[in-house]
Amino acid sequence: MEALVAIAIGVMTAVGLYLTLRLRTFPVILGLTMLSYAVNVFLFSSGRLVQNRAPIIGTGETYTDPLPQALVLTAIVISFGMTAVIMIMAIGGFLESGHDRVNMSGRDQDDGGPEAGAADGDAAGEGRA
């Protein structure tokens, strides 16, 4: 079981990292979600993997550690909320700029991609004033 869980965490992390490095926001968000799945399972297994035991002392000969379950519950709630926030921001960014590229555009950005400047024109950098 340990090997199976470890492989699952590893695969999810790898997929998450790969997707996070994409250039469009949607795959990036999927990747972040994948990473949070991986970390949740990892967090869950930090209390050691035990089968068929209640997280309560006194119900059986042994028990499973209840703390990681509480931690992972907190982590799930937080990552769920964060995914909702970044989703809303991605939609907002898409609606305002008309595309969902991750990299910045305009002359304000020193390290933007080669095609980024052409897409939005110079006016975008001056929106601040």
Under the rule (CB under 8 A), what is the footprint of another protein? 16, 20, 25, 28-29, 32, 35-36, 38-40, 42-43, 45-48, 67-68, 71, 74-75, 78-79, 81-82, 85-86, 89-90, 92-93, 96-97, 102, 104-110, 120, 124-129
Rg (CA), the chain: 21
Report d(CA 91, CA 14) in Å as an integer: 26
| Cα torsion 84, 85, 88, 94: sign | negative
Instruction: Specify the residue, 76 or 114, whose C-beta has the smaller distance to another protein.
Output: 76
Q: Give the nearest distance from C-beta 72 to another protein in angstroms.
A: 9
Q: How far is the CB of 100 from another protein (least distance, A)?
A: 9
- Minimum Å gap between C-beta 95 and another protein is 9
43 CB-near residues (< 8 Å, 6+ apart): 68, 71, 72, 75
Question: Residue 100, Cα to own-chain centre: how many angstroms?
Answer: 17
**Shortest spacing between CB 6 and another protein, in angstroms:** 13
| 3-state secondary structure at position 91 | helix
Beta carbon nearer to another protein, 60 or 92:
92
- Say which DSSP state 48 is in: -
